[in-house]
Structure 1
C-alpha cells in the first residue's frame, strides 16, 4: 500500500459516507423489534455489524440474511443499505446482519472475504443464543459486495454447522481479471469508468495474479467448481459495464446445475437499486425478497420433514 493510494481511498470513503440513496424506503413502513450495532470478534479485528431484528414472535429460530455493501472493496458503509435491510427483515421475518467488513488497501484480498465468512461462522456458533437457524442462512451483496457474497457462498459449501441456502448477486464484479477498458456500456458516461475500476482493483489485490483466483473472479471458476453452489438471484442492468460478466456467470451457474433467477433491468445503470429509476429499483428489491422467501420456506419445510421422520424412528 502506497501513500497516494491510501489518501485516495480515504477521500473516496469520505465522499461515500456523505452519499445518500435516491431510492430509499421510509423506516416507518417496516417497523422492527430492534436495530442493534454489534462487534463480532474475528482474526481481522472486531467486525462491526448492524443487526435488524424482526418484530415476530420468537416461536422458532429465525432465518438469517447476511448483507454485504458495495464500494469497490475500498469504500462504502453498511448504512447505505439500511432502509433495504429494514424492509427485508420486516417482510421476511428474518434477522438481517448488515456487515461493515474490512476494506482495501489496508486490508487487501482475502481479508474482507475471510472476515465475512468468519462472521457467518460466528453466527452459526451463536445460533442458540441468538435464536437463529444456522441451516437457513442466505448471503447477498451489491457490486463488490455481490462478489464477496459469491465467495462466502463458495467457502460455505459442505460446512458442518451452517448452510447457505441462497445467494443474492446484485450487479456484481465477477471478472476482475479483465481489463476495465474492455467492459463497455452503450452510455457515453456510465457510472463505472475504467480509471476508477483499475484503482479499486489495485487496492484490493496485493498481487495482480490474484485476479485469476475464482474467489476474486468467480466467472473464472470451472463449471465443475461451481457445482453445489446455492441457488441464486442474479441482477444485472442494461447500461452497467458489469452486465456481460453477470450474464456469463448466470449461464455458467446454470451449466453447473445451480438454479438461477436472473433478470436484466432495461434502462438502468450500476447501483440502480439505490439510485433509481424508482420503479425498477422496487422491482429489483421485490425480486430479491421473493428469492430469499422461497429459499427460507423450502429449507424450513425440509427441516420439519426431517424432524418428523426422526420422531418416528
Structure 2
C-alpha cells in the first residue's frame, strides 16, 4: 500500500464524514425503542454496528435487515444511512443492523466482504439472546455496499444457521474488471466519474487479477453459479455510470431463476437516494420498504421492471 494511496483514502474519508445527505427523514417521524452501538468480534477486529430497535411487542422473533453503506470500499460511514435505517426499523418492525465494515486500502478485498458475512453469522448465533429470527434476514447496500450485500447473500446460500430471504442492491458496482473509462453516462460530469472509480478499485484490489473473482465482481458469476440466490430488489439510475452493470446483473439473475424487481429511476444519478431528487429518493425507499415487508412475511417478490419519471 503506497503512502500516497493511503493519504488520498484518508482525505476522502474525512470529506465523506462531513458530507450530509440532502434527502433525509425526520427522526421524530420514526420513533424507535433505542439505537445501540455494538462492537461485534471478528477476525478483522471489532466491527462497529448500529442496532435500530423498533417499538414493538415481542410476540415473535424479529426479522433483521443488515445495511451496508456506500463509499467505494474506501470511505463512508453507517451514519450516512441513519434516517433510512430508522424508517425501515420503525415501519417494518424489524431490527436494522447498520454496519461499519473495514475499509480499503488498509483492508483490501475480501476483508470487508468476509467481515460483513461474519457479522451475519454472529447475528444468527446470538439470535436467541437478541430476539431475532435467523431465518428471516435480508441484506442490502448502496453502491459499493450493494456489491458487498450480494456477496454476503452469495456466501449465505445453504447456510445451516441462517437464511437470507431478500437482497437490496442499490445502484451497485458489480464489475471491477471492466475499465472505468468504458462506463458511460449521458451527463458530461456524472457524480461518480471514471477517475474516482479507478482509485477505488486500486485500493480495494491488492492484485488486479482479483477483479475476475465473482465475489469482487458479481456480474462475472456464471448463470449456474447464481442459482439459489435470494429474491432481489435492484435499483439503478439513468445517469449513473454503473447503470449498465446493474441492468446486466438483473438479467443474469433472472436467467438463473431468481425473482428480480428491477427499477431504473429516470433523471437520477448515483446516490440519488441520499441526494435527491426528493420524489425519486422517497419512491426508491418506499420500494425498498415494500420489498422487505413482502420478504419478511414470506410472500414472493413479483417480477416487475419499471422506470420512474
Correspondence for 1:134: 134
1:74 is paired with a residue of what secondary structure? coil
Q: Any gaps of 5 or more consecutive residues in structure 1?
A: 301-313
CA distance in 1, matches of 2:281, 2:202: 30
Question: Residues 45-72 of structure 1: CA distance to partner in whole angstroms, max 9, x if unpaired?
Answer: 0000000000000110000000000000
Correspondence for 1:164: 164
Query: What's the TM-score, normalizing by structure 2?
Result: 0.96
Question: Residues 169-188 of structure 1: CA distance to partner in whole angstroms, max 9, x if unpaired?
Answer: 00000001000000000001
Correspondence for 1:304: none
Q: Is the 8 A contact 1:165 1:299 kept in 2?
A: no
CA distance in 2, matches of 1:197, 1:298: 37
Correspondence for 1:214: 214
Correspondence for 2:304: none
Shift of 1:127: 0.1
CA distance in 2, matches of 1:241, 1:76: 19
Root-mean-square deviation over aligned CA pairs: 0.8
Matches within 5 A, 1:59-98: 59-98=59-98
Q: Is the 8 A contact 1:136 1:299 kept in 2?
A: no
CA distance in 2, matches of 1:193, 1:88: 30
Correspondence for 1:253: 253
Shift of 1:299: 7.0
Correspondence for 1:119: 119
How many residues align? The count is 300
Superposed structure 1 runs of 4+ greater than 2 Å apart:
none
Correspondence for 1:175: 175
Correspondence for 1:303: none
Correspondence for 1:110: 110
CA distance in 2, matches of 1:148, 1:298: 24
* Larger helix share, 1 or 2: 1
Query: What's the TM-score, normalizing by structure 1?
Result: 0.95
CA distance in 2, matches of 1:50, 1:299: 28
Correspondence for 1:2: 2
CA distance in 2, matches of 1:188, 1:29: 38
1:58 is paired with a residue of what secondary structure? coil
Shift of 1:194: 1.1
1:52 is paired with a residue of what secondary structure? strand
| Rg larger in structure | 1
CA distance in 2, matches of 1:219, 1:297: 29
- Please state if 1:276 is matched with 2:272: no
2:191 is paired with a residue of what secondary structure? coil
Q: Is the 8 A contact 1:30 1:87 kept in 2?
A: yes
Correspondence for 1:292: 292
